[in-house]
A = this chain, B = another copy of it.
């Protein structure tokens, strides 16, 4: 199965990921991608269905990396600590791979099962961590959505330079997460877990 130029799907995705992380998603073209791989652009069609297909594959690639990063942040931790570490890992990923992060949030092409499945695995991970708070299933979904909204909103606004520069961004991020956790504790108080002493800020 090895071929003339040693090009395979993995190398294409790798090269495309580099392009979008450095130059942005809108600057990924079959032209510069094929140049990077030292082939002519129509040759790419032997491996992929077209530009949309590459974007889809990148999206899946990014989601899987994000899932991995979040999972590693959550293992061996629980409750607030797990939430905070997942949040930090999420933002770290978005900052380190801006293009990959951006492509991850493309509207999935409806019946793309792989993409749906991986997205669901991330939701399941968050849901699992939230089980520690012993809410109703519906509330768990509410909070998971709120958590994702905060993370994505912050990462996205930061990436698009939507925030001013007056106040440290890491401080704001941890403050946001801690405020969510504070709200969680008020609304779902468990015995032995009073709403206090979760107000330290500062990020790694």
A143 interface hit (Cβ, 8 Å): yes
Is A171 close to B, CB under 8 A? Answer: yes
Contacting pair A175 B153 (CB below 8 A): no
Contact partners of A123 in chain B: CB under 8 A: 164
Q: Which of B153, B159, B175 contacts A150 (CB 8 A)?
A: B153
Report how many residues on chain A are interfacial, defined by Cβ distance under 8 Å. Answer: 47
Count this chain's copies in the assembly.
2
Q: Which of the 9-residue segments A3-11, A38-46, A67-75, A179-187 touches chain B?
A: A179-187
A146 within 8 A of B: yes
A117 CB, nearest partner CB in chain B, Å = 12
A105 interface neighbour in B119, B145, B160, B171, Cβ under 8 Å: B160
Contact of A172 among B105, B145, B157 (CB under 8 A): B145
Given A183-B180, A183-B181, residue A139 in contact with residue B175 (CB < 8 A): yes
Are A107 and B182 also in contact (CB < 8 A) when A145-B176, A153-B151 are? no
Q: What is A's interface to B at a CB cutoff of 8 Å?
A: 105-108, 119-120, 123, 138-139, 141-143, 145-146, 148-154, 156-157, 159-164, 166-167, 171-172, 175-176, 178-187, 195, 199
Q: A142-B179, A153-B154 are in contact. List 5 more A-B contacts (CB 8 A).
A: A105-B162, A107-B160, A143-B179, A146-B150, A150-B150
19 A-B contacts (beta carbon < 8 Å): A106-B160, A107-B159, A107-B161, A120-B164, A139-B175, A141-B167, A143-B175, A143-B179, A146-B175, A146-B179, A149-B150, A149-B157, A152-B156, A153-B154, A179-B184, A180-B180, A181-B183, A182-B183, A182-B187
